[in-house]
Amino acid sequence: MSPFCVYLCTCKDIEEARSISSILIREGLAACVNVLSGVESIYMWKNELCHDREVLLLIKSSEKKFDELQRCILQHHSYELPEIISIPITGGSQSYLKWLDMHLQNAL
């Protein structure tokens, strides 16, 4: 089991997604963020069925950085209740996990 996670976060548009991703990288809260546009989300919000186009962030980071990462997302996100979900990384390429660890430890 590794100490790393993938965090999922949806954003209203590509500009917000790129902005949040860049901040997370610059502040050393993530080693890599994939920005996936064209995501369709269907959900209930305030008793209304919603169908929205969103942009999904796949944020690679560590469990230790979650509180700070969450604070950062909440500070810069436009949603009243942004999605922030953690998925533990239970395995993977040892070379990639080593890179992830090195990047997160040496973040500015």
Residues 61-92: tens digit of each pLDDT:
999 999 999 999 999 999 999 999 999 999 99
Domain layout of the chain by residue ranges: 4-105
Q: How do 4-11 and 32-45 pair as beta strands?
A: unpaired
Question: What is the rounded distance in angstroms from the CA atom of residue 2 to the CA atom of residue 5?
Answer: 8
pLDDT score for 19:
98
Higher local confidence (pLDDT), 19 or 107: 19
pLDDT score for 1:
57
Q: Is the pLDDT of residue 2 over 80?
A: no
Identity of the amino acid at 45: W
The top-level CATH class assigned to 4-105 is: alpha beta
Exposed/middle/buried for 9, CB within 10 Å: 0-12, 13-18, 19+? buried
